[in-house]
Amino acid sequence: MAQVAVITGAGSGIGRAVAVELGKAGFAVALAGRREDKLQETAALVGGDTLVVPADVAKADDVQALFERVHATHGRLDLLFNNAGMNRPGDVGELSLEDWQRVLDVNLTGSFLCAQAAFRLMRDQDPQGGRIINNGSISATSPRPASPAYTATKHAITGLTKSISLDGRRFGIACGQIDIGNAATDMGGRMAQGVPQANGTVAAEPVFDVQHVAEAVRYMASLPLDTNVQFMTIMATSMPFIGRG
């Protein structure tokens, strides 16, 4: 029987690349995201045993329906790639409460809701166990200018990853985190066009092929449940991150 994976934010970018890669690896893939048309495009690329479930991860009812559908279809869950995320730029003095709250709702509360639903399925199924991989960010370690909401949520994802890892030990549930810097997607690809730097300038930054992210997630997912990649950072080698850039 194929292993079953749920991928959130699967309609584009990193989520789409990971879905295709896991499909190649033989996973039965469930695709979640807000836009059904984009999910269907991903499903066509994945092929095979693919489930499309439109869902807003910030809405508890949508998340519940997503995981109930997966359980009803496949009877178990082996992997959650907690990938859905967004950003609303603005410095600390200018960011609106509405924008702050929306980023927290999607990036943090959405990740928690999906992790909780996956955790419960993995805990209660037979055989017990599974793996949760959270998409952090380079911002989980070091912020960019004018990104308080995004940065705060990605720091919080690191804490969530550690808590899931600890709580999951007795149930055979592994949890790891992948922090990604400047993958060439619609979101990350803009780095090559020039983005604000800490010194106030705007500069183009190197990017790298998103396929390398997909292969990294596939590797993390391929491990037996007694082995875990707790944290992985994958990034464009020359991006301004280590030291003074």
- 3-class secondary structure, 214: helix
CB-CB contact of 178 with 232 (8 Å): yes
Strands (DSSP E) contained in 17-72 are 28-33, 50-54
How many residues would you count in the chain? 245
- 3-class secondary structure, 116: helix
DSSP structure class, residue 183: B
Element (H, E) at 132: strand 130-135
What are the structure tokens assigned to 101, written together? 């709250």
Options 27, 67, 150, 208, the catalytic residue? 150
- 3-class secondary structure, 154: helix
CB-CB contact of 34 with 56 (8 Å): yes
Among positive and negative, which fits the CA dihedral 62, 64, 65, 67? positive
Could you tell me where the DSSP H helices lie in 169-210? none
Strands (DSSP E) contained in 38-94 are 50-54, 79-82
**Is 150 known to be catalytic?**
yes
**Which residue type is seen at 193?**
Q
Spatial separation of the C-alpha atoms in residues 242 and 245, rounded to whole Å: 6
Mind telling me the catalytic residues?
150
